[in-house]
Amino acid sequence: MTFLGFILRNLWSKKARSIGLAFAVAIAVMTVVTLDVTSSGLEKSAAAIVSVGKADFTVAQKGASDTLTSTIDQVELGRIRQTPGVRSTVGVLVATERIDADNPVFIEIGINPEDLAPFGVSVVAGSAYAPAAAHEVMLGWRAAANLGLKVGDRFRANGTWNTITGIYSTGNSFGDAGAMFPLPAIQGYNRLPGIVTLAFVKVVPGASPATVAARIDYAQPQLTTIRTADQFGRADRTLVYLQAAVNGSTVLAVLIGAVIIGNTMLLSLYQRIREFGLMRAVGWTRRRTVSLLLSESLLLAFVGAALGVAMSIAVVTVLENLPVLKGILHADFTQGAFWRALFTALAMTLIGALYPMIRAAVLSPLEALSHE
């Protein structure tokens, strides 16, 4: 019998123990991967919001609870425009509203019509709304298709009926699935006169976006600039807390899982102590005995990791379709999530199996064979 065959036979002969260990690994992996995927999905949504406009970087309020609660007033916006190296600044107010069951978090963007072109908006049908219109709106082409609306139709939002004057495209799937209103109108709907959520900045040709962003950060410490996905945490504390929860859950899962695996494998070692004594008596070295236990543990870890990822996919699918989370949670199974799953499974298994392996290595054949 081959060494691999011997490992499989041992695991199969103790099916309940093997299934229990693999399931323990799977539960830990499922928890960690689900949190990681959720965090990545929310971060991706935040990235989509701040990348709707065609800009070199985005300015938001520092330390806001989330991106949509950022507030920038007209004084701050004026100082951004006066910063050396700034070519143009577009202030927008971003809000969300439940339109229907299929659109529980519908994006609404308030922007002045003269800023549409600098913002990267192309009107593909109809025309832009008037600057001070109270009941006019443009729909993104994705939103228009999803809602079955066209130019001239009426669209209910913010408690009023609005005439659709045009259909637009931004080249950003997130922005194209929303609607745009005159900035004063949406400020009034949300009782935020003179306030914008984000400022999208373009620098003059030849200027360094990083240098201009640093000037804004220094001159207005209450604001923060966002140029890369790694900087979202500056303006969205929720993402920071969620990522900390992911890291904390990984450590906790490894420690709890290691205790469960260690106890189970130690019990298995006592049950198989005469078996190990016999193997040592017929010539098995300490290294080969440890290799047997290590190989059994690693095989269970890989099985548990695969099962955990499958369970996570099922759980996330269910969460995405819950009425309270539909349209909010968008799963993002990144390569990092799968590496985290493998790390969690291997770490908890190796730590848990460490003491039983040491016990097996120092076990003398005579002591093992005389064990009752």
pLDDT value of position 53: 61
DSSP secondary structure letter of residue 53: S
Cβ atoms of residues 343 and 257 within 8 Å? no
Between 47-56, 195-204, 260-269, 344-353, the lowest mean confidence (pLDDT) is in 47-56
Q: Confidence band (pLDDT; 50, 70, 90) for 86?
A: very high
* Closest C-alpha to 163, from 126, 109, 211, 111: 126
Q: Is the pLDDT of residue 120 over 80?
A: yes
Q: Is the pLDDT of residue 238 over 70?
A: no
Q: Confidence band (pLDDT; 50, 70, 90) for 106?
A: confident
Q: Confidence band (pLDDT; 50, 70, 90) for 20?
A: confident
Residue 236 to residue 231: CA distance in whole angstroms: 9
> At residue 339, what is the residue type?
W
pLDDT value of position 218: 92
Q: Of 361 and 159, which is predicted with more confidence?
A: 159
pLDDT value of position 196: 93
Which is it for strands 106-110 and 86-97: parallel, antiparallel or unpaired? antiparallel
pLDDT value of position 149: 93
Q: Is the pLDDT of residue 50 over 80?
A: no
Between 13-17, 123-127, 212-216, the lowest mean confidence (pLDDT) is in 13-17
- Retrieve residue 4's tokens: 């691999």
Q: Confidence band (pLDDT; 50, 70, 90) for 41?
A: low
Alpha-carbon separation of residue 242 from 40, 191, 236, 312 (angstroms)? 10, 30, 10, 17
Q: Is the pLDDT of residue 346 over 60?
A: yes
Q: Of 363 and 203, which is predicted with more confidence?
A: 203
Q: Where are the domains of the chain?
A: 3-45+239-369, 57-226
As a whole number, mean pLDDT of residues 320-349 equals 75
Q: Confidence band (pLDDT; 50, 70, 90) for 47?
A: low
Residue 271 to residue 267: CA distance in whole angstroms: 6
Percent above pLDDT 90 for the chain: 24
Helices 335-362 and 237-271: angle between axes, nearest 10 degrees: 30
pLDDT value of position 68: 75
Between 53-67, 102-116, 182-196, 208-222, the lowest mean confidence (pLDDT) is in 53-67
Cβ atoms of residues 14 and 299 within 8 Å? no
Q: Confidence band (pLDDT; 50, 70, 90) for 107?
A: confident
Q: Confidence band (pLDDT; 50, 70, 90) for 113?
A: very high
Percent above pLDDT 70 for the chain: 83
N residues, the chain = 372
Cβ atoms of residues 325 and 46 within 8 Å? no
Cβ atoms of residues 262 and 353 within 8 Å? yes
Residue 347 to residue 37: CA distance in whole angstroms: 20
Sign of the Cα pseudo-torsion (263, 259, 316, 101, in order): positive
pLDDT value of position 137: 94
* Closest C-alpha to 109, from 47, 49, 171, 172: 49
pLDDT value of position 317: 84
- Retrieve residue 262's tokens: 């260690």
pTM above 0.85, yes or no: no
SS3 95: strand
- Retrieve residue 300's tokens: 């269970």
- Averaged pLDDT of the chain: 81
Most confident of 89-98, 146-155, 270-279: 146-155
Q: Of 339 and 9, which is predicted with more confidence?
A: 339
Cβ atoms of residues 67 and 355 within 8 Å? no
pLDDT value of position 367: 62
pLDDT value of position 265: 73
As a whole number, mean pLDDT of residues 123-141 equals 92
Residue 205 to residue 184: CA distance in whole angstroms: 31
Residue 140: strand pairing partners: 168
> At residue 136, what is the residue type?
E
Q: Is the pLDDT of residue 42 over 80?
A: no
SS3 19: helix
Q: Confidence band (pLDDT; 50, 70, 90) for 229?
A: low
Residue 208 to residue 147: CA distance in whole angstroms: 42
* Closest C-alpha to 306, from 17, 19, 1, 25: 25
Q: Is the pLDDT of residue 234 over 60?
A: no
